[in-house]
Structure 1
């Protein structure tokens, strides 16, 4: 008898519940609302200077979906993000505009997103990740909170050599470079051992050069070798380049020169970009950084 009462009581509750549901129509609007992001002056500047002319999104806020959870990362500082956005526009996008005669080249081939992260990212072997590119769609730049806008060498090391490097990947993935390039160093690439194969510091730089690689990282794979030649060449002076060739010596210099001849002709014949003109334009813009107001939007 007791069990029957329990069952009846439950049945009555269900009857009352469904009766209430039938009497009151459920609202079609969700009671859960997402926090709305307030657009600021920088957001509007990005639309005007990146999205509209180049179809590029410039993300400076930390978003889980865009961040690599393999690293412990922090968001980019707002002021540093503004400065870097202006520098990328001036030292990279506008440079290609001048060399190619318009904005279409960047619109067609440059990654559609630049993503900033405030802190450095480190691999398990202790090497710092300067930047990453994903399928030609996004470039992520790390260590933004430490940017020194007046130090051109630091800007190139952390950001602009990386940007030219990753952009060159997109270009050769779109239109492959000659297979003859792959035959020059052949089986000499050291893969993930590049950070230790040549020693450390300046000794590693010298050893890699003498082996025919413009940087130690260039020895990791043939594609990295190809794009490192472009990135190093266009972000440095002719005097710097010649100093690298001199250090490479009688063994490494002929190898690097043979590779660079293929790189130079590829960029000219395939993309109608003269790397000498591109470098001169990059250097001209570097020398004019002091003319920019990097803080005012």
Structure 2
């Protein structure tokens, strides 16, 4: 009985301490939910002046819960990478469209209103890598900002980022005006196992990249991006579209070459009919912008 009494007293003391009231300040919202206030940084000012004002785009690089797919090991962008990387993307992807269409109106209308930025890529369990995502035409996720440098020897990083931007913007355009169904009949064999196929093998089969072989929509935007800024050459480098076609297909008259050229014609026709854009003129502007950036 004595043991029971002592145990009971201890339990009551424990409950008393556990139920002790704490004074909580309910007037201050939690951090990240409206309760925090930070001064604008140089990065914030640049984003406001270069993206928010002309294009009505918000850029999120200071992560908040739920903005990215956190089950994956994605690192945040380094603040010092933001301005140089965004300047480069503005120069080699935004400005050519503005020059071709005559103003910022086209991009302001069709670019997503939210950019989310990550420092690294998103690596999937099957060995493939996600370099960008377009989410319903309203948001775009851009990865690998921490790999960016302004040195010409590292230009492949900017080319890959530019490829991602053109790819994802291609999806946005397709979500507004769909690609003609005839496009997917050029090479009707698509596969979910594209990540087991080498780029050069895909090119022999009529796809500009292995990822293009995954789905007709991906096929189309991979063509757009590869035509505008090039694609991975399979040897840790980026080559322009013509060099890839010459080096990694069997040339004119062969299945792979002719299929890719048919897709090129479809892309050019789509931009002309749907958006009144001379795609080859846009391509020349993109290439000049990339060359000028590293001069």
Q: Equivalences for 1:1-297 in 2 at 5 Å?
A: 30-33=26-29, 34-150=35-151, 151-157=154-160, 159-186=161-188, 188-191=189-192, 193-196=193-196, 198=197, 204-236=198-230, 240-246=240-246, 247-249=248-250, 250-290=254-294
Q: Distance in 1 between matches of 2:61 and 2:184?
A: 37
Q: Could you say which residue in structure 2 is the equivalent of 1:14?
A: none
**CA displacement 1:148-199 (0-9 Å, x = unmatched):** 2223222112x1101100100111111112111121112x1012x1001x2x
Unaligned runs of 5+ in 2: 1-24, 30-34, 232-238
SS of alignment partner, residue 249 of structure 2:
helix
Judged with a 3 Å threshold, the aligned counterparts in structure 2 of structure 1 residues 252 and 154 are, in CA distance, closer, same or farther, namely: same
Moved more, 244-253 or 170-179: 244-253
Cα deviation, 1:184-234, whole Å, max 9, x if unaligned, reads 112x1012x1001x2xxxxx1221011000000000000000110010000
The structural deviation recorded for 1:290 is 4.0
Could you tell me how far apart the structure 2 residues matched to 1:112 and 1:267 are?
A: 22
> Who wins on radius of gyration, i.e. which is larger?
1
- Residues 46-88 of structure 1 show CA distances to partners (whole Å, capped at 9, x for unaligned) of 1111111110112221222311112112211011111111112
CA distance in 2, matches of 1:107, 1:223: 23
Mapped to 2, the partners of 1:43 and 1:245 lie a distance apart of 42
State the 1:278 CA deviation: 1.1
Q: Distance in 1 between matches of 2:159 and 2:84?
A: 15
Is this contact kept in 2: 1:62–1:76, CA < 8 A? no
Once residues 278 and 288 of structure 1 are traced to their aligned partners in structure 2, the CA distance between those partners, rounded to angstroms, is 15
**Counterpart secondary structure, 2:240:** helix
Q: 5+ residue gaps in structure 1?
A: 1-28, 199-203, 292-297
TM-score under structure 2 length normalisation: 0.81
For 2:282 and 2:155, the matched residues in 1 are separated by 17
After superposition, the CA RMSD in angstroms is 1.8
User: How many correspondences in the alignment?
Assistant: 253
TM-score, scaled relative to structure 1: 0.81
Distance in 2 separating the partners of 1:35 and 1:94: 35
